[in-house]
C-alpha cells in the first residue's frame, strides 16, 4: 500500500507540474526604407591627449581645453531640423600615491561643454548644428573644458590621470 501511495502522490505532482496556459500575441512591424535618412555624422578632435599642467601655488591643475569638430553629409538646404548628442561612456579622474597605488583623490575634474557645466554626464542635452564652418553641409564645433574641482597638494608624490570616452550620435 505504501508503494501505491507514493505512486499516487507522484502522479498528482506530475499533473500539477505540467499544467500551464499559453497565449499567443501576434506582433508585426513594417519599416518603409524610403522614409529612412542616408545621413552620417563624424567627429574630429583638436587634441586626443590633454596634459593638464599643475599649479603648485594654488595646488590645482590648470584647465584643459579641446575642441570637437562635427561633420555630416546633411545638406544645409534640406530644411529639416537635426540635432546631435554626445554619449559619454567614461569620465574619470584620480590621483594615486606613487609608492602604494592608494587612491588619494577621485573624480577631481569637472566637464564643461561650450562653457556649461555638466555634473551628470548621463544628462547632457542634444546640440543643434551651429554651422561655424561655412560649408554646404551641417557642421558644428564644441569646446570641451576640463576643470579641477578640488585642491591637490603636492606634499606627496602622486600619479594623476583621467579619461573621457564618448561617441557622437545623430538625432533624426
Span 98-150, pLDDT tens digits: 888 888 999 999 999 999 999 888 889 999 999 878 889 999 999 999 999 99
Q: Which of 121, 49, 46 is nearest to 87 (CA)?
A: 121
Does residue 8 fall inside a structural domain?
no
Does residue 120 fall inside a structural domain?
yes
Q: Which of 54, 50, 65 is nearest to 152 (CA)?
A: 54
Does residue 159 fall inside a structural domain?
yes
Contact 142, 113 (CB under 8 A): yes
Does residue 55 fall inside a structural domain?
yes
What global pTM score does this model have? 0.75
Does residue 21 fall inside a structural domain?
no
Contact 52, 64 (CB under 8 A): yes
Residue 96 CB contacts under 8 Å (≥ 6 apart), including other chains = 102, 103, 104, 158, 159, 160
Look over the chain and give the mean of its residue pLDDT values, rounded to a whole number: 84
What's the rounded Cα separation, in Å, for the pair 111 and 63? 10
Q: What is the longest distance spanned by two Cα atoms in the chain?
A: 94
Main-chain phi, psi angles of 47, to 5 degrees:
-140, 135
How many domains would you assign to the chain? 1
Does residue 68 fall inside a structural domain?
yes
**Among 6-15, 18-27, 143-152, 153-162, where is mean pLDDT lowest?**
6-15
Give me the CATH number covering residue 60.
2.60.40
Does residue 112 fall inside a structural domain?
yes
Structural domain containing residue 162: 39-171
Does residue 29 fall inside a structural domain?
no
Main-chain phi, psi angles of 16, to 5 degrees:
-70, -35
Amino acid at each position: 500500500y505504501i508503494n501505491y501511495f507514493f505512486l499516487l502522490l507522484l502522479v498528482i505532482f506530475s499533473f500539477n507540474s505540467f499544467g500551464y496556459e499559453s497565449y499567443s500575441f501576434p506582433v508585426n512591424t513594417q519599416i518603409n526604407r524610403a522614409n529612412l535618412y542616408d545621413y552620417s555624422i563624424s567627429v574630429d578632435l583638436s587634441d586626443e591627449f590633454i596634459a593638464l599642467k599643475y599649479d603648485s601655488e594654488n595646488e590645482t591643475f590648470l584647465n584643459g581645453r579641446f575642441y570637437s569638430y562635427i561633420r555630416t553629409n546633411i545638406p544645409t538646404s534640406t530644411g529639416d531640423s537635426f540635432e546631435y548628442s554626445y554619449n559619454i561612456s567614461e569620465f574619470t579622474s584620480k590621483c594615486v600615491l606613487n609608492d602604494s597605488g592608494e587612491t588619494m583623490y577621485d573624480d577631481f575634474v569637472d566637464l564643461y561643454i561650450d562653457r556649461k557645466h555638466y555634473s551628470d554626464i548621463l544628462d547632457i542635452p542634444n546640440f543643434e548644428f551651429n554651422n561655424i564652418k561655412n560649408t554646404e553641409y551641417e557642421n558644428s564645433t564644441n569646446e570641451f573644458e576640463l576643470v579641477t574641482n578640488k585642491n591637490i597638494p603636492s606634499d606627496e608624490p602622486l600619479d594623476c590621470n583621467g579619461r573621457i570616452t564618448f561617441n557622437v550620435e545623430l538625432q533624426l
